[in-house]
Amino acid sequence: MVSQKHTLLIRGAVVASSFIIVALILWNTYDFFLKFKDEERAKMEILAKAFESFSTSDLNADFTLEDKIILSNSNIPMIITNNQGNITEWSNLDDSKIDNTDYLNHQLRLMKNQNKPIIVSHKESQTKQFIYYRDSDLLTKLKYYPVALILILILFASVIYLFFKSNKIAEQNKLWTGMAKETAHQIGTPLSSLLGWIEILRLENTDENTVKEIENDVLRLDTIAKRFSKIGSVPVLKTENIVEATKTALNYLQSRSSKNVIFNFRSKKSNIKTKINIQLYNWVIENLVKNSIDAMAGKGTLNIVIIEEDKTVKISVSDTGKGIPKNLYHKIFSPGFTTKKRGWGLGLSLAKRIIEDYHNGKIMISKSEIGIGTTITVHLKK
């Protein structure tokens, strides 16, 4: 227990440290982005001053510095407009689209949304120009860098969550498997004694029908113990008559169910071979039948139909119960999910695991209508 707590503390520290490191990277990146953006703004303001210098009437003025400043802008897309809002100049845009007026207007709208314009005042001519610009490609990439980091952080958190969840599920499965095997082991001893007592009852000439019923229930307990012992192990599949196996499971349940439940069994063939584990398959049928009887509140009609197809065998269990809403079709096979006041919600999830994991088949709700009933179908390979 101490070791487990120590491990959890280490894991928690590692996760917390990782989040702190990523948060610091995000903060530094954002801070750098703001500084870089301010630098681009300052650069454009210097560019505006250079344009203002050209408005002088001094013909002998030297504009070498201003030319260098203007030509130095090789990475910030820019558009200049006059007082009327007409585009007069541009730079660092896609040359292949410059002739397209819609392209220039679109770029101007983007620039207006990104940054405030810089005013170029020409004092001698009493006119103004407006410099619009948008972030350079480098700044744009830097802007999306935190988004990429956040996505990585989310992915990292998801992986950690799934890792811990899978570990927890594995531990729970291991615990349930151990409990199931121990239960099977503990049941074995009294079962042996009960079989001995049955023989004693026979020697004392007890009514054979009574003894037979007791023997059936003891054998039933033995079957349950064998089922529990198989949990967590890969079951051995043998070629069996699926029709006979289904009938056997139904006969036991029918004799112990309410007379208000009508059992109907139908199969065109009396012998259909498929590979199954007889104990686990019977467990599935019993779970499906009990679930249907519960859905009908102990009164209704239960139809079990076996259909042989080219490569598969379909076993359908239909009831006249309350039905299942479509949004619960997949949830009912989840461990722990139940709509009953009493129950663990393990029956259908166990049936799904037996059919899909152990028999490589499929189990699904093929039809359900509220107030009319539900049909659950098992598909097994021939």
- 129 and 249 in a single domain? The answer is no
Angle at CA 205, nearest 5°, toward 200 and 208? Answer: 95
Asked if residue 227 belongs to a domain, the reply is no
Q: Which residue among 135, 155, 180 closes a domain?
A: 135
CB 294 within 8 A of CB 257: no
Q: Which residue among 135, 152, 177 closes a domain?
A: 135
Sheet strand arrangement including 312-318: 261-267, 300-308, 312-318, 373-381, 362-369
- 243 and 367 in a single domain? The answer is yes
Asked if residue 145 belongs to a domain, the reply is no
Residues pairing with 312 in the sheet: 381
Asked if residue 179 belongs to a domain, the reply is no
CB 287 within 8 A of CB 347: yes
Tokens 């996505």 belong to: 151
- 239 and 109 in a single domain? The answer is no
Residue-by-residue pLDDT tens, the chain, 382 positions: 445 566 667 767 777 777 788 778 778 878 888 888 888 888 888 888 888 877 665 555 666 776 777 777 888 899 999 988 898 888 888 888 888 888 999 999 999 998 999 998 887 777 888 999 988 888 887 777 777 777 877 887 788 778 777 777 677 666 666 666 767 667 777 777 787 888 888 888 888 888 888 888 888 788 777 767 766 667 789 999 999 999 988 988 888 888 899 999 999 999 999 999 988 898 899 889 998 998 898 899 999 999 999 899 999 999 999 998 888 887 888 776 666 655 555 678 888 988 998 899 999 999 999 999 999 999 999 8
Q: Is 276 exposed, middle or buried (0-12, 13-18, 19+ CB in 10 A)?
A: buried
Q: Which residue among 77, 112, 135 closes a domain?
A: 135
CB 26 within 8 A of CB 149: yes
Q: pLDDT at position 348, please?
A: 85
Q: What is the DSSP string of 133-164?
A: E---HHHHHHHHHHHHHHHHHHHHHHHHHHHH
Asked if residue 203 belongs to a domain, the reply is no
What amino acid is encoded at 170 in this protein? A
Asked if residue 206 belongs to a domain, the reply is no
Asked if residue 213 belongs to a domain, the reply is no
CB 264 within 8 A of CB 373: no
| Domain containing residue 244: CATH number | 3.30.565.10
pTM: 0.50
Asked if residue 50 belongs to a domain, the reply is yes
- 250 and 373 in a single domain? The answer is yes
Could you give the CA distance from residue 291 to residue 321 in angstroms, rounded to a whole number?
A: 10
Buried b / exposed e over 59-72, threshold 16 CB at 10 Å, is eeeeeeebeebbee
Range of the domain at 55: 15-135
Asked if residue 225 belongs to a domain, the reply is no
Total count of domains within the chain: 2
